[in-house]
Structure 1
Amino acid sequence: EGENRSKYSIIIAGRNFGCGSSREHAPAALQIAGVKAVVAQSYARIFYRNAVDGGFLVPLETDEPLHTVIKTGDRVVIDLDEATLEHVPTQKVYRLKPIGDVEAIVRSGGIFEYARRAGMIPSGAEKA
């Protein structure tokens, strides 16, 4: 265990990240590899939904082509409250698109656990 974990927890990508992955295995594999967030210009919708619904990782979006500026190993700091990403080597701060309830869903472990915690669906303990 641990051999397939990356030392990097954030992926910086371009457009249509996750294209071609129609199952939850793609974001699950990234999570197992240690990825906590992906910052991309856009996502394949099914990848985005699978990442959020399964609670695998936080998909963040930006209008900036950050993959042309940020290189592997560069340190970045993401502030979800302010919706910003700081590229530490240059101290430049980039805007991210607001993520709404996405963070809460991912932190809950997925859409079903989020709904249970919010009282939208009963938990297994409530069955008579």
Structure 2
Amino acid sequence: MSTIEGKVWNFGSHIDTDLIIAARYLNTSNPQELAKHVMEDADPQFVTKMSQGDIIVAGENFGCGSSREHAPIALKAAGIAAVVAPTFARIFYRNAFNMGLPIFELPQADEIKEGHIIAIDLDNGSISNKSTGKSYTFNPIPPFMQELIAAGGLMAYADAEISRAQSTQKAH
């Protein structure tokens, strides 16, 4: 998972968790059901326009508001491959990694426009805008957090670690 490439969808600053997935849908935790309604209060046609593997590029403080895990679950289940923003609300940042959704802090995120194709290189901490030829660098994600993303989130990572430990015990 060293590179993520996709089409960009832009959203502004202070996109809160209610815009990512409205509270009226919180009566379910089914990821596929949540995916049908992701970002609909910000753009009612978003789920019909976006494709699997697309990337959201937003303004500052993405994911502010309630601390619901439903927000990164809905984004990931809808097929959003990553979110890029100058800053993220801290609880969303943590929840995103816990759910296995890659997010990247990039101060120049506003230079990346809707419809552009970008490639995010996790290993080298860079984003290449294939539409403009411009490249950006960001602080690489720490290896452990990359492991969380690769595993599909914290629970999947923990399950794999438990299985590995049990296999090791049985071998001895």
Q: Same fold (TM over 0.5)?
A: yes
Find the aligned partners of 2:163 and 2:99 in 1 and give their Cα distance.
17
Find the aligned partners of 2:123 and 2:160 in 1 and give their Cα distance.
22
Give the secondary-structure state (helix, strand or coil) at the position aligned to 1:103: helix
Find the aligned partners of 1:86 and 1:79 in 2 and give their Cα distance.
8
Find the aligned partners of 2:113 and 2:122 in 1 and give their Cα distance.
21
State the AA in 1 paired with 2:89: A
Between 85-94 and 6-15, report the one with greater CA deviation.
Answer: 6-15
Could you tell me which residue of structure 2 aligns to residue 72 of structure 1?
A: 114
Give the secondary-structure state (helix, strand or coil) at the position aligned to 2:84: strand
Could you tell me which residue of structure 2 aligns to residue 61 of structure 1?
A: 105
**Structure 1 unaligned residues grouped into runs of 5+:** none
Could you tell me which residue of structure 1 aligns to residue 13 of structure 2?
A: none
Identity, in percent, stands at: 42
Pairwise CA distance, 1:118: 3.7
Pairwise CA distance, 1:119: 4.9
Aligned residues of 1:70 and 1:87 also touching (Cα < 8 A): yes
Alignment of 1:49 with 2:94, yes or no, is yes
Aligned residues of 1:115 and 1:121 also touching (Cα < 8 A): no
Between 72-81 and 101-110, report the one with greater CA deviation.
Answer: 101-110
Cα deviation per residue 1:50-98 (whole Å; 9 max; x = unaligned)?
111122x10111232x22x221111111111111001112211000121
Could you tell me which residue of structure 1 aligns to residue 83 of structure 2?
A: 38
Higher helix fraction (1 or 2): 2
State the AA in 1 paired with 2:99: G
Structure 1 residues 102 and 75: CA distance shift in structure 2, 3 A: same
Runs of 4+ in 1 over 3 A off after TM superposition: 1-5, 118-123
Could you tell me which residue of structure 2 aligns to residue 110 of structure 1?
A: 153
Pairwise CA distance, 1:23: 0.6
Find the aligned partners of 1:15 and 1:120 in 2 and give their Cα distance.
39
Could you tell me which residue of structure 1 aligns to residue 69 of structure 2?
A: 24
Give the secondary-structure state (helix, strand or coil) at the position aligned to 2:156: helix
Find the aligned partners of 1:97 and 1:62 in 2 and give their Cα distance.
9
Aligned residues of 1:38 and 1:58 also touching (Cα < 8 A): yes
